[in-house]
Amino acid sequence: MTGAAARVAGEWPALAALPAPPPARTWRYGPHASQVVDFHGDPAGPRVTVLHGGYWRQRHDRGYLAATAGALAAEGYAVALAEYRRVGGGGRWPEMSADVAAVVAGAWPDGAAQVLLGHSAGGQLALWAAHRLPERVRGVVAVGPVADLALARELGLSDHAVDELLGPDGPLDDADPGRLLPAARPAVLLHGTDDPDVPVELSRRYTAASGAALRELPGTGHFAALTPGSAAFPHLLDALREFA
């Protein structure tokens, strides 16, 4: 393994090893075990709602972004780290989209606009939610997003995860950010050029069609921009400051 490959491969262990701060409170927005949101930080701060990734599958949950949420709270943000029903745990499409809509509509009951921060599959969900509920969204920051479901399906990414989400013949029109244009809210996409999980070409295609901003992170993989203390983490903070 080359030095660059080893560095990218080490991004996930580096993020997973960080301690997970406990939330200040948890909100249950439905009866399913996955219908919960953890809140971090000062409630008066700029609102950021975080949607995790994992190719929409049950085996991946919000826990890996708890350290990110804690770091954003330390920067003064009010953070809602959302869970939702996932494939293999009672949620495909549209159950998953219904959960995300409920979170975006209800996590901040005073009606204040929020920034949506989505990672990987959560980036697709964030871009989708901004289109469906633009009145509740100030902007989107998407990190390594699955921003083009048509290309993800064509490439068979993550053992055909798009087909698991929508069904092998499931239409893309309601779910694919690349088909929900023009975008209702501004977005900044951060994508590592060496991302082994979601190729940067998905973000390039989406931004070319939508006019969203793309910031490619040379030599970076799938997790570094979300890892407090990494060289890429300041790029995430810079993107959030544009909206918050």
For residue range 169-216, list pLDDT tens digits in order. 999 999 999 999 999 999 999 999 999 999 999 999 999 999 999 999
Parent domain of 210 = 3-11+27-243
pLDDT average, residue stretch 220-225 = 98
**pLDDT given for residue 1 in this prediction:** 59
How many beta carbons lie within 10 A of that of residue 155, not counting itself? 15
Does 19 map to a domain?
Answer: no
Is the residue at 20 inside a domain? no
Question: What does the DSSP assignment read for 56-98?
Answer: TBTT--GGGGHHHHHHHHHTT-EEEEE----BTTT--TTHHHH
Q: For residue 39, what is the domain's CATH number?
A: 3.40.50.1820
CB 203 within 8 Å of CB 213: no
Per DSSP, 109 falls in state T
Buried b (16+ CB within 10 A) or exposed e, 156-193: ebbeebbebbbeeebebeebbbbebeebbbbbbbbbbe
What's residue 4's pLDDT? Answer: 74
On whether residue 98 sits in a domain, the answer given is yes
Number of domains in the chain: 1
Tell whether 18 is covered by a domain: no
